[in-house]
Structure 1
Amino acid sequence: MAQQEILDKQLLTQYRESLGDEGLKSTLTTFDQIIQSYANLLHEAAKQKHEEQLRSQAHKVKGACNSVGLIKLAALMEQLEKESWEWPQAERLLIEWADSVIPHRQQLQQWLDEEAH
């Protein structure tokens, strides 16, 4: 998957221009701190097959991902939030999202490191 499909570089560039490198790093630190608890709540809602709770949590995760330019991760959450699905499909989306968080976050870090030079 190409990097431009994963990251919203325009948004990230705007953040760098307005917040500076340190401000953007601080935003990402906050994201890193909250995303695990959000993921735990997603997992719990899926485990209990609580659709309304899963959709609500997917909305929060989507917003968190969009706020740091992780648009592919946000798109997966938007599918959980808004589209109609059966539980096996929802579980596959959750697995795909969970498997993608670290590599996508690493690509974001790589982009930041490259832009900082």
Structure 2
Amino acid sequence: MQGKDAQLDTELLQQYVEILGKEGIAASFITFESMCPQYLQELHGLMGLENETAIRQCAHKMKGSCRSLGFIRLGQSMEVIEKEQWTMAQLEARVSAWGPMMHEDIAAAKAWLANQT
């Protein structure tokens, strides 16, 4: 499931399964899912301050977390915030969409993992 609009880097995830086992990667998904609300809260706080530099730094950190666990689409969304030009309204729309997208992608990752032998 890869490509421009892909949710997951299944090649990376398969390597993790081989190294960590299904339980290890499942634990990583749980940790990621528990950290995302904190990341979003930090990002919202920075948006309230309209601190563009700090917003971009936070997006960079979130992008790295996403990509390290194979979440392509989530990482790409944060990369837009990190590197591209945006207005506060565009930023708010992207961040608002990120939460539901995160839940979809985590569910997809868990479903993918459940199908691994």
Paired-residue identity, %: 35
Moved over 6 A (4+): none
Specify every segment of 5 or more residues in structure 1 that has no aligned partner in the other structure, as ranges.
none
Aligned to 2:54: 53
The answer to whether the Cα contact below 8 Å between 2:29 and 2:106 also exists between their aligned partners in 1 is no
| In the alignment, structure 1 residue 9 sits paired with structure 2 residue 48 | no
Q: Partners of 2:41 and 2:18 in 1: how far apart?
A: 33
Structure 1 residue 67 and structure 2 residue 88: aligned? no
Alignment TM-score, normalising by the size of structure 2: 0.90
The range that moved more, 68-77 or 44-53, is 44-53
Q: CA deviation at 1:47?
A: 2.0
| Structure 2 counterparts to residues 1-117 of structure 1, below 5 A | 4=2, 5-116=6-117
- Could you report, residue by residue, the CA deviation over 1:61-84 in whole angstroms, capped at 9, with x for unpaired residues? 111111111110000000000111
Amino acid at match of 2:38: S
Aligned-CA RMSD value: 1.2
**Equivalences, count:** 114
1:87-108 deviation digits (Å, cap 9, x = unpaired):
1111111112122111111111
> Counterpart amino acid of 2:29?
L
Shift, 1:9, TM fit:
0.3
Matches of 2:25 and 2:96, distance apart in 1:
28
- For 2:31, the aligned partner's letter is T
Structure 1 residue matching 2:116: 3-state secondary structure: helix
TM-score in terms of structure 1 length = 0.90
